[in-house]
Amino acid sequence: MYNSDELRLFSAKAKSGLCSHAYIVDGAAGIGKLDFALECARAMLCSERNKPCGYCSSCRKAITHDHPDIFIIGRDKTAAIADVREIIRRSSLKPNDSDKQIFIVCNAGKLRADSQNALLKLFEEPPETVAIFLLTESRASLLPTVLSRGQRIHLDGMRDEEIESLLSEKHPECRYGEIRNAVDAANGNLGEAERYLSKESRALRAKAEELLLLALDKKKYEVMNLLLVTKYKRDQLSALLSEFVSAVNEAEKQRYDVRMARAPQSQELASRLSNASKKALARMGEAAAVCLMSLENNANITTASSKLAIDLLSAASR
C-alpha cells in the first residue's frame, strides 16, 4: 500500500481543476498503483466539490467498478497492440456520462515498443476529454519519448508510523513488540505486515516457539508428542520447520544481542532464552534444516520427524 501524500496532492489538484492529461505512475510491485490510479480517476470524475466525495453517482459507479468512462487495459496480461488501438479509437469518442474518459494502462513498461509508439500520439496530445495513466514498476522500461511527455508520480510505501497505527487499531490482541516486528518486516507494505500478524502465521509461530521451548527444557515426551502425535502432511510439517528455523535464528540473534531480532511471541520463551546455550540453539537450527531438506527429498514423514526429535533433544544437552 502506498503512502497517502500523493493522493492528497492529486485530490487537491482535481478540486482546483489543475489535473494534467498524462501521468506516469511508478512504484514497486504490490504497492497499489492501480488502486491509486482508480482513486485519481474517481477524483477527476467526481461531480461534487470535495473530490472524490464517495457518494455522488460517478463515485459510486467507480467504487463498484462499473464506471462507463474508466477503462483499464493490461491488468491480467500485458496489453497487446490491439488493446492500445482500441483505447485510441475510444479516445476520439465522447465520454459516456462524465466530461472525461480515463484510460489506465497497467504494466506499461512491458508494452512492446510498437505499442508504446502507438500510445505516444495519444499521450502527447490527448483530447480535452481524455486523461491517461501509465502504470509501471520502473520508469526505465518506458521509451524516453513516452517518459518525457507524462507527469511523473512516484509512489512510496507507507510510512512506518502509518502502518504501526493502522495495525495497532486492527490487532488489539498483539503486543507492542509484535506490531513493531511486523512494521519492520513490512518495508512499507501494509499487506506484508498484515500477513505477518495473521491468525495463521501467529499460530504457526506459537507452535514453533513451543517446540523450541520444550526442546530447550529437554522435555523428551512432549517433544515426541508435538512432532509425532499430530499426523502432519508433508507441507504442514515443512511449514512448521521453516518457522522453527526462523524462530531459532531470531533466538540466536537475541543471544548475541543483535538488534532487530524479532522478539518471541511467548514471554516464557523470551525469558528462557536468556540462559539458553548458544551451541544448543545452533545445533537445533541445523537439525531442523536437515530435516526440512530430507522432507523435500521425499523422506518418510514419521522417520524424519522421529530423527528430528532425537536430534533436538541431543542438541539440548550441548
Give the Cα separation of 78 and 107 in Å (integer): 6
For helices 176-186 and 190-197, give the axis angle rounded to 10 degrees.
Answer: 140
| Cα angle, residue 265 at apex, residues 313 and 306 outer, rounded to 5° | 25
Segment contacting Zn ion (CB under 5 A): 42-50, 123-131, 136-144, 214-222? 42-50
Nearer to Zn ion, 53 or 118 (CB): 53
When computed from its CA atoms, the radius of gyration of the chain, rounded to whole angstroms, is 27
CB of 281 to Zn ion, least distance (A): 57
Shortest distance, CB of residue 266 to Zn ion, whole angstroms? 49
8 A C-beta contact, residue 281 and residue 252? yes
Min dist CB 288 to Zn ion, Å, is 55
Closest distance between Zn ion and the C-beta of residue 8, in Å?
A: 16
Which one among 31, 38, 41, 59 touches Zn ion, defined by CB under 5 A? 59
Nearest to Zn ion of 53, 310 (CB atom)? 53
Minimum CB separation of residue 52 from Zn ion in Å reads: 5
Question: Alpha helix locations (H) across the chain?
Answer: 5-15, 33-45, 57-63, 81-91, 113-124, 144-147, 160-170, 176-186, 190-197, 199-216, 220-224, 234-255, 267-273, 278-296, 301-316
Is 56 a residue that touches Zn ion (CB under 5 A)? yes
Residue 296 as a binder of Zn ion (CB under 5 A): the answer is no
Cβ proximity to Zn ion, 13 vs 207, nearer residue: 13
Kindly determine how many residues on this chain lie close enough to bind Zn ion according to the rule CB under 5 A: 6
Q: Which of 5, 48, 99, 156 binds Zn ion (CB under 5 A)?
A: 48
Full strand arrangement of the beta sheet holding 101-105: 70-73, 101-105, 130-136, 22-26, 151-154
Q: Which is nearer to Zn ion, 43 or 247 (CB)?
A: 43
Strand partners, 72: 104
CB of 1 to Zn ion, least distance (A): 22
The site for Zn ion (CB under 5 A) is made up of 46, 48, 52-53, 56, 59
